[in-house]
C-alpha cells in the first residue's frame, strides 16, 4: 500500500477543506466528504472535485446507513483505507441552560456519534490491513471547559474519552487512534455558531447573558493581534500520517496562542494515566 487512501469528513469549510487540499498535494488519494453537495455546498464540492487526487462524496455523518455505504464503497474501489480524519462538527455557545434536549442531541449526534459511526465503519478494514490511522479533531476545550461554551465542550470531552480508550485497544492491532486539539482559529466555524433555542432563559441571567458576545469580541481581537494560521491543523494531520504507526502521540496540540496551557495538562495527565493503567495490569498496552 504505497499511495495512502484518506477519507476526511466535513470538507466543505475550515480545517476539513484545507486538509483535503493538503493531503491531495501530498499525493494521497483523498475522499472529501460533504453534506448536501447538490445544494448549499455545491460550489465548494465542485471546487474540490476539480483538484487532482480528490474525490468528492456525499456523506451525512448522522446517517449510519449512509456512513457504512460510503466507507464500503471507498474500500471496494481502492482495496484499502489508510486514514480517516473525523473533522465534521459544529460549534455552539451561549447560556448552557438555554439548550434544550433536542439541541444537545443534535450537537452530540454530529460531534461525537458522527465520529464514532465513521470510526466503527472503518475499523474492520484497518484491522484486516494491520494498518490504519484515525484522527479525531477535538479541541483545547476538550481538556478544559470554558463557560458559555459548555455543550460544545462536552461533545469534545466525550470525543477525547472515546479516542483515549480506543487508542490503547486498537494499537496492538496496527491501528492508531489519535486526537488533534486545535485552539481558536479564524475559520468558518465561528460564523456558524449555534445557540440554545430556549431564548427565554436569558432574561433571568441579567448582564451575564451579554458575556458570550463579549467572548466573541475578545476572540476576534486575539485573531487580529496574533493572526493564527488555520493551515497549522492540516500540517499537523500530514505529520501524523507520515509518522510510523505505533509512534504517533495520542494528543497533538495545535494552538499558537494558548497551547502551552493544554500541553502542560496533557503531560501531567499522561504521567498519571500511565501509572493508573500499569496498576491495573495493563502496562503492555502502553508499549
With respect to residue 174, please indicate whether it lies within any of the assigned structural domains. yes
Q: How high is the pLDDT of residue 191?
A: 61
With respect to residue 88, please indicate whether it lies within any of the assigned structural domains. yes
CATH number of the domain that residue 144 is part of: 3.40.50.720
Between 186 and 23, the higher pLDDT residue: 23
Contact 88, 63 (CB under 8 A): no
Using pLDDT thresholds of 50, 70 and 90, give the confidence band for residue 214: confident
With respect to residue 283, please indicate whether it lies within any of the assigned structural domains. no
Contact 164, 208 (CB under 8 A): no
Q: What is the DSSP secondary-structure string of 213-246? A: HHHHHHHHHHHHHH---TTHHHHHHHHHHHSPTT
Residue-wise pLDDT for 122-171, tens only, equals: 999 999 999 999 999 999 999 999 999 999 999 999 999 999 999 999 99
With respect to residue 173, please indicate whether it lies within any of the assigned structural domains. yes
Contact 102, 198 (CB under 8 A): no
CA 20 to CA 14: how far, in whole Å?
10
The closest alpha carbon to 182, from 227, 118, 234, belongs to 234
DSSP-derived 3-state class of residue 58: strand
Instruction: Please confirm, yes or no, whether 152 is among the known catalytic residues.
Output: yes
How many other C-beta atoms are found inside a 10 Å radius of the C-beta of residue 225?
9
With respect to residue 280, please indicate whether it lies within any of the assigned structural domains. no
With respect to residue 154, please indicate whether it lies within any of the assigned structural domains. yes
Using pLDDT thresholds of 50, 70 and 90, give the confidence band for residue 189: low
Catalytic residue among 31, 152, 168, 205: 152
The residue segments making up the domain with residue 214 are 5-259
Contact 235, 125 (CB under 8 A): no
How many structural domains are present in the chain? 1
Contact 110, 136 (CB under 8 A): no
Residue 1 has pLDDT above 50, yes or no: no
Share of the chain above pLDDT 70, in %: 96
Mean pLDDT, rounded, for 184-201: 78
With respect to residue 213, please indicate whether it lies within any of the assigned structural domains. yes
With respect to residue 190, please indicate whether it lies within any of the assigned structural domains. yes
CA 42 to CA 57: how far, in whole Å?
11
Mean pLDDT, rounded, for 43-72: 97
Burial class (CB in 10 A: 0-12, 13-18, 19+), 101: exposed
Mean pLDDT, rounded, for 47-76: 98
Residue 29 has pLDDT above 90, yes or no: yes
Q: How high is the pLDDT of residue 59?
A: 97
Q: What average pLDDT does the chain have?
A: 93
Q: How high is the pLDDT of residue 187?
A: 67
Amino acid at each position: 500500500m504505497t499511495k495512502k487512501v484518506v477519507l476526511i469528513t466535513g470538507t466543505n469549510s475550515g480545517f476539513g477543506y484545507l486538509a483535503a487540499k493538503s493531503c491531495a498535494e501530498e499525493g494521497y488519494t483523498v475522499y472529501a466528504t460533504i453534506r448536501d453537495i447538490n445544494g448549499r455546498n455545491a460550489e465548494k464540492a465542485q471546487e474540490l472535485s476539480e483538484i487532482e487526487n480528490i474525490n468528492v462524496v456525499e456523506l451525512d455523518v448522522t446517517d449510519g446507513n449512509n456512513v457504512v455505504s460510503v466507507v464500503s464503497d471507498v474500500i471496494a474501489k481502492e482495496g484499502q483505507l489508510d486514514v480517516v480524519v473525523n473533522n465534521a462538527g459544529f460549534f455552539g455557545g451561549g447560556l448552557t441552560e438555554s439548550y434544550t434536549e433536542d439541541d444537545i442531541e443534535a450537537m452530540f449526534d454530529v460531534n461525537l456519534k458522527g465520529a464514532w459511526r465513521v470510526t466503527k465503519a472503518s475499523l474492520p478494514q484497518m484491522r484486516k490491513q494491520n494498518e490504519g490511522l484515525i484522527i479525531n479533531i477535538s479541541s483545547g476545550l476538550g481538556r478544559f471547559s470554558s463557560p458559555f461554551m459548555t455543550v460544545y465542550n462536552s461533545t469534545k470531552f466525550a470525543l477525547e474519552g472515546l479516542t483515549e480508550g480506543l487508542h490503547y485497544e486498537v494499537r496492538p492491532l496496527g491501528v492508531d487512534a489519535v486526537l488533534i486539539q486545535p485552539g481558536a482559529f479564524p475559520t468558518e466555524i465561528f460564523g456558524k455558531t449555534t445557540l440554545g433555542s430556549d431564548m427565554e432563559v436569558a432574561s433571568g441571567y441579567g448582564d451575564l447573558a451579554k458575556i458570550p458576545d463579549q467572548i466573541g469580541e475578545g476572540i476576534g481581537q486575539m485573531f487580529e493581534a496574533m493572526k493564527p494560521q488555520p493551515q497549522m491543523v492540516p500540517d499537523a494531520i500530514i505529520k501524523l500520517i507520515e509518522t510510523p504507526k505505533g509512534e504517533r502521540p495520542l494528543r497533538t496540540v495545535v494552538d499558537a496562542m494558548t497551547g502551552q496551557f493544554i500541553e502542560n495538562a496533557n503531560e501531567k495527565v499522561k504521567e498519571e494515566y500511565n501509572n493508573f493503567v500499569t496498576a491495573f495490569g495493563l502496562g503492555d498496552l502502553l508499549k
